[in-house]
Copies of this chain bind each other. A is one copy, B any other.
Amino acid sequence: MVEEGERAVLLDERGRKYLVRAERRLLHTHLGLLNLADLLGVPFGGRVRSHTGREFVVLKPRMADLLQKMRRLPQVVLPKDAAQVVAHTGVGPGDLVVDGGAGSGALALFLGNLVRPNGKVVSYEVREDFAEVARENVRLAGLEGTVEVKLKDMREGIEERGVDLVTLDLPSPEEVVPHAEEALKPGGYLAVFTPSVEQLQRLYPQLRKGRFAELKTLECLVREWEVKEGCTRPSTRMLAHTSYLTLARRI
C-alpha cells in the first residue's frame, strides 16, 4: 500500500516507466495527466488512471528502477559492467567497500544495495558538485545508512582498513593502487574500470609491483535480441564499448 511521500514506479501500457512520489502533484505523462495523490492507499501491483482513462501499474521501486531513473552524470558505470564485479568477487551482504570516484553514485548505489544492511560503501569524490549529485541519489535510493559519500581526493589516501572490495573509476587509477593495497584485507579485491588501453598499460606495472594475485582484465559485451512471431534476431545496434574491467586480489 503506497503511503504519503513514498516512492513508486508507474508502468504505462506501452512499457514506459516513471519514478514518482505519492504527493499532491500532477504528473504529465505521454498518456495524459495523472494526479499523484491518487497513489495513496493503492496496493503495489494495483492501478491508477490518467485523466484520459489510461491505466498505470503501480510497483515498488527496485534498485534496477532507481539506477535507470536517477540523475546521471556522463560516463556512469553501467549495470552490465558493475555486475561483472559481483561475478568475480562475490561481493555481498556485510562487505566493506571503498569506491571512487563517486561521480553520480551509480556504482556506489549498485554495491550499496548488495552489502546492506550491515555492510558499508564509502565512496570518494573530489568534486563537490558531483558529490552533491551522488548524495542526492543515495537519498533517492534510501541507502543513507549504507552508502557514505566522502568529499576527498583518493590519491591522497584511503582511510578505511580491512576493506573487502575497492572499486576505481578514475582517469589515473594507477595512482591509487598503493592506497588500495593498504586498505584491502588479504583476499579482498580491487576492481578497476578504464575505458582506454593506455590506462591498462599504466595500471598493470603498478599492480605487479604490489601484493596482488589473480590479475585479470575483461570486457563485457551485451547484445539484445528481438523475439517476434516469425522473426527472431539480434537487435541491429549495440554498445560496442564501455570500460575494461581489471580485477586483482590482495594477498
Which residues of the other chain, B, contact A60 by a CB distance below 8 angstroms?
187
A127-152, CB < 8 A from B? none
A215-251, CB < 8 A from B? 215-227, 229-242, 244, 246, 249, 251
B45 touches A251 (CB 8 A): yes
- Our pick among B11, B186, B220 for the contact of A80 (Cβ within 8 Å) is B220
A196 touches B232 (CB 8 A): yes
Q: Closest residue of chain B to A46, judged by CB?
A: B186
Which residues of the other chain, B, contact A185 by a CB distance below 8 angstroms?
44-45
- Our pick among B45, B196, B219 for the contact of A223 (Cβ within 8 Å) is B219
A117 touches B (CB below 8 Å): yes
A57 touches B (CB below 8 Å): yes
Give chain B nearest CB distance to A147 CB in angstroms.
13
CA distance A15 to B60 in the complex (A): 44
CA distance A204 to B99 in the complex (A): 35
B240 touches A234 (CB 8 A): yes
B89 touches A116 (CB 8 A): no
Q: Can you name 12 A-B pairs with beta carbons within 8 Å?
A: A57-B213, A62-B187, A64-B89, A90-B113, A196-B231, A196-B232, A200-B227, A200-B232, A216-B224, A224-B240, A237-B240, A238-B240
A93 touches B90 (CB 8 A): no
A113 touches B87 (CB 8 A): no
Chain A residue total in the interface (Cβ 8 A): 79
A59 touches B (CB below 8 Å): yes
CA distance A221 to B237 in the complex (A): 11
Which residues of the other chain, B, contact A190 by a CB distance below 8 angstroms?
none
A82 touches B (CB below 8 Å): yes
Q: Decide: A90 near B116, CB < 8 A? Known: A222-B218, A237-B240, A241-B234.
A: no
Q: Decide: A113 near B84, CB < 8 A? Known: A59-B251, A217-B225, A218-B222.
A: no
CA distance A240 to B222 in the complex (A): 10
Which residues of the other chain, B, contact A64 by a CB distance below 8 angstroms?
87-90
Give chain B nearest CB distance to A190 CB in angstroms.
14
Which residues of the other chain, B, contact A240 by a CB distance below 8 angstroms?
223-224, 234-238
